[in-house]
Amino acid sequence: MTIGGPRGRHPRLQMPCLRKMERMIVSMQDPDMGIKMRNQRLLITVIPHAMTGNDIVEWLIQKYGISEEEALHLGNLIVKHGYIYPLRDPRSLVLRADESPYRFQTPYFWTSTKWPATELDYAIYLAKKNIRKQGDLIEHEKDNYNLLHKRINHTWDFVVMQAREQLRAAKQRRKGDRIVIDCQEQAFWLVNRPPPGAPNVLEQGPERRNCHTTRVQLNMDYYKREIEYCRKAMARTRVKSSICLEGYIKFNEQYVPHDPIMSGCLPSNPWITDDTTYWVMNAPTVTTPTKLRVERWGFNFSELIMDPLGRAQLLEFLKKEFSAENLSFWEACEELRYGEQSRIAEIVDSIYQQFLAPGATRWVNIDSKTMERTLEGIKTPHRYVMDDAQMHIYMLMKKDSYPRFLKSDLYKNLLAEAIIPPETKKRVFPFMRKQRHSSPSPALLLPAGDAEERGRSPSTAPVPEEES
Amino acid sequence: MHSRMATEGLRENETLASLKSEAESLKGKLEEERAKLHDVELHQVAERVEALGQFVMKTRRTLKGHGNKVLCMDWCKDKRRIVSSSQDGKVIVWDSFTTNKEHAVTMPCTWVMACAYAPSGCAIACGGLDNKCSVYPLTFEKNENMAAKKKSVAMHTNYLSACSFTNSDMQILTASGDGTCALWDVESGQLLQSFHGHGADVLCLDLAPSETGNTFVSGGCDKKAMVWDMRSGQCIQSFETHDSDINSVRYYPSGDAFASGSDDATCRLYDLRADREVAIYSKESIIFGASSVDFSLSGRLLFAGYNDYTINVWDVLKGSRVSILFGHENRVSTLRVSPDGTAFCSGSWDHTLRIWA
């Protein structure tokens, strides 16, 4: 037994939206809560069980509590997928929010129906049209007709026979029924054989679940793995929801003022005003950072160390405390973790020489156990060999140096001198668009050889030089 | 001989059945354990948070130039450049602020479903139906032939659905229709680690922003979202509450949670410490799948692009929909917020990309 199903599944089964659309359609036709259907007049013919475009939009607005724009959009999608068709102008699957008449498609023709629309069916449909219109088909239908005529030439007699038979049967129906059946068919084929230029709503994208190697075998190994996973998962510590969710509230409070989409940004959002001052003032390395930026360094250690400017200030502070080698060590470890596979041994050795060897110029103070483990580990150097030592130093900076940094004069001065940019005054002629200047690409800033060098050091944001 | 084999067969069947029931009962117990600590809902806790005011976002730039469906995009760290890829194999680098195209390359395959900008801004990665992930250095040399400098890095046995550089240009993480994720050394093309566990195509991934940077989350056609340890290759946590394929996963900015978008027309929020789903973002009128999700900088808003051509904006804390954005004329296939949170970019099957702010 396998999960995954047989190859070549009917692609429409991959569209869960069709099921939901059908449920919508069914509730739209509910005798009590659905749309009130009436007779609609089409020139001189009366079509029963029909509704207007307005009816559809109104019903959607009421049922789902949405705006008219959204209701019209949703209604249009329902029509595009062929579940509702227009009686007037049936060649265009569009919903108009007016008195235009519409009808529900018969379930026989529903898009999710499992029988595929075959070439034969399409040929019969085109043949009928061809006969009725005496050869005057619209261009793409003419092309398709000729194509099919060539391709299934051997059954063409059958096609024409079927077409004639269906036309004959249709003549015996009332005019109203004939119009309805024609519209139903037309809508079905518009969905299944869209004219060139029209969007194909049935288009899916590359097939999923067609790889036999991922088909999971529900055998003993599978269940043994499931059991193993569950046992591990049971043993893990979980935190109460109330505590976790409190975390979001706090995070939200802290960060919303820094969220340009939520709170705007000063002097202005470059995308809205075409003024790039905001980017210039917040470039990775500026002389004077903005107040918001310096405040953010106080949120947590990660904010400080991940901002190139913040990191530089941290370095200055650590120098004063004679523990700058900690930051340098951490950076070197990052270089190891994210560096090329081929340079691992080289980087590990460099780290050892600079930071760990007895008498090293920038010896880092790690606890003896970690040091012992690390020294043992570097005998067979690998990417993660410094993880323990790096974590130890990171925590040292975070728990020890960082709180002192925040209380230091250095940081206090940074806060005091930080800029609060004034809001861009509204332009007198707002309709005159400001010229949009280009900026040098990060790929340009260094000659090709150095670009590789740059790519090597982790977490270095490119430094665009902005024109003002 | 025949009877012995028959009894052995019988024993094996019994073991399979008993393993299956043991697995199922353990799963049930796990759900009970998870539920025990669930003492409050997110929207209840969020009651005291101020409601959002009028929300206005408009298209500020429209990028036209792709001749076919746009499938994926990614931002450069410089906050204005982007890379985008499409069905016809074209990959374009734009300065989206000026809307100028800066580089273009045509891949030898169609349906380039994954693309990523390198952290340095000096290279891009992409792949799709060629089952590979290739890296192209970006050059401005006179006789520029980007295709000539192409480096083939990752090799999968089915389509590439997602790729992302780690903290440097030297490593790439990939997700594939072959059901696996993998970590690669760019320079040598060496496979550093592979991640097995999904029962079907993996469609998306996102790297954790956590300060220790060791994990990532992936989503797949098996309806599971899985969190992985990059170093060991082990699955740390797994969540299975969606009803259909998970098309997109994205970490909440604090790293304590992630959101997912699925073909079941919902987006969900999973908390990693509580080890459970903590919110569902859905509406009866939204019946098409969510293809792509991303958070605003503060994590208060979740932007989600859908297969019904719209973008819905959700209040992450209160669970309500804040706004619906119209404009695209076909499926929204990709959506990313810019690195400094000033805007987000959406790409669509209507051949265009839009910047919203």
Per-residue pLDDT averaged across B22-27, rounded? 91
Closest CA–CA distance from residue A230 to any residue of chain B (Å): 6
Q: Is residue A311 part of a domain?
A: yes
pLDDT tens for each residue of B73-86: 999 999 999 999 99
CA dist B26 to B20, B234, B243, Å? 10, 20, 21
Q: How confident is the model at residue A435 (pLDDT cuts 50, 70, 90)?
A: confident
A302 and A391 part of one domain: yes
Q: Is residue A56 part of a domain?
A: yes
**pLDDT attached to residue A284:** 92
pLDDT tens for each residue of A138-157: 889 999 999 999 999 999 99
Domain boundary among A53, A83, A109: A109
A351 and A402 part of one domain: yes
* Helices assigned H by DSSP within A240-287: 241-255, 260-263, 270-273, 277-281
Domain boundary among A170, A192, A214: A192
A339 and A273 part of one domain: yes
Q: What is the CATH number of the domain that holds B221?
A: 2.130.10.10
Share of chain A above pLDDT 70, in %: 89
SS3 A316: helix
Closest CA–CA distance from residue A175 to any residue of chain B (Å): 36
Amino acid symbol at A117: A
A342 and A382 part of one domain: yes
Buried b (16+ CB within 10 A) or exposed e, B87-102: bebbbbbbbbbbeeeb
Q: Are the beta carbons of A231 and B26 separated by less than 8 Å?
A: yes
A319 and A405 part of one domain: yes
Buried b (16+ CB within 10 A) or exposed e, B193-217: bebebbbbbbbbbbbbeeeebbbbb
Domain total in chain B: 1
Mean pLDDT, rounded, of chain A: 88
Q: Does residue A111 register a pLDDT over 70?
A: yes
A78 and A151 part of one domain: no
pLDDT tens for each residue of A307-335: 999 999 999 999 999 999 999 999 999 99
Closest CA–CA distance from residue B134 to any residue of chain A (Å): 16
A138 and A75 part of one domain: no
Q: What is the CATH number of the domain that holds A279?
A: 1.10.167.10
Closest CA to A449 of B264, B167, B122, B52: B122
Domain that holds residue A129: 119-192
Q: Cβ neighbours of residue B289 under 8 Å, at least 6 residues apart?
A: A16, A17, B244, B245, B247, B261, B262, B263, B264, B265, B306, B307
Q: Is residue B28 part of a domain?
A: no
A269 and A348 part of one domain: yes
Residue of chain B whose Cα is closest to the Cα of A246: B45
> What tokens does A321 get?
């405390």
Share of chain B above pLDDT 90, in %: 87
Q: Are the beta carbons of A234 and B273 separated by less than 8 Å?
A: no
Q: What is the CATH number of the domain that holds A171?
A: 1.10.1240.60
**Residue labelled with tokens 């954005």:** B325
Q: Are the beta carbons of A458 and B192 separated by less than 8 Å?
A: no
Q: Does residue B51 register a pLDDT over 70?
A: yes
Closest CA to B286 of A202, A55, A21: A21
Q: What is the CATH number of the domain that holds A31?
A: 1.10.10.10
Indicate the DSSP class of residue A213: G
pLDDT tens for each residue of A72-108: 999 999 999 999 999 988 889 999 999 999 999 999 8
Q: How confident is the model at residue B140 (pLDDT cuts 50, 70, 90)?
A: confident
A87 and A183 part of one domain: no
Q: Is residue B5 part of a domain?
A: no
pLDDT tens for each residue of A247-256: 999 999 999 9
> What tokens does A444 get?
């340009």
Q: Is residue A39 part of a domain?
A: yes
Q: Is residue B144 part of a domain?
A: yes
Q: Is residue A197 part of a domain?
A: no
Q: Which residues of chain B have a CB within 8 Å of the CB of A262?
A: 52, 296-298, 300-301
Best residue in A81, A255, A271, A456 for a mutation probing chain B (most B CBs within 10 Å)? A271
A96 and A140 part of one domain: no
Domain that holds residue B121: 50-356
Q: Is residue B234 part of a domain?
A: yes
Domain boundary among A192, A214, A230: A192
Q: Is residue B89 part of a domain?
A: yes
Q: pTM of the prediction? A: 0.93
CA dist A143 to A119, A128, A183, A193, B282, Å? 14, 15, 21, 12, 44
For the ranges A43-47, B64-68, B205-209, B329-333, the lowest mean pLDDT is seen at A43-47
Q: Which residues of chain B have a CB within 8 Å of the CB of A21?
A: 287
pLDDT tens for each residue of B191-250: 999 999 999 999 999 999 967 679 999 999 999 999 999 999 999 999 999 999 999 999
Q: Is residue A346 part of a domain?
A: yes
Dihedrals φ, ψ of A228, to 5°? -60, -45
**pLDDT attached to residue A455:** 52
Per-residue pLDDT averaged across A23-46, rounded? 91
Q: Are the beta carbons of B40 and A245 separated by less than 8 Å?
A: yes
Closest CA to B66 of B95, B94, B30: B94
Closest CA–CA distance from residue A405 to any residue of chain B (Å): 19
Per-residue pLDDT averaged across A384-393, rounded? 96
Answer yes or no: are the C-beta atoms of A208 and A11 closer than 8 Å. no
Q: Are the beta carbons of A220 and B15 separated by less than 8 Å?
A: yes
Say which residue, A55 or B55, is predicted with more confidence: A55
Amino acid symbol at A420: I
Q: Does residue A467 register a pLDDT over 60?
A: no
Query: What is the rounded radius of gyration, in angstroms, for the C-alpha atoms of chain B?
Result: 22
Buried b (16+ CB within 10 A) or exposed e, A226-251: bbebbeebeeeebbebeebbebbeeb
Domain total in chain A: 3
Nearest to A239 among B19, B140, B273 (CB): B273
CA distance linking residue A271 with residue B99, whole number of Å: 12
A96 and A62 part of one domain: yes
Q: Is residue A434 part of a domain?
A: no
A124 and A48 part of one domain: no
**pLDDT attached to residue A223:** 86
**pLDDT attached to residue B6:** 61
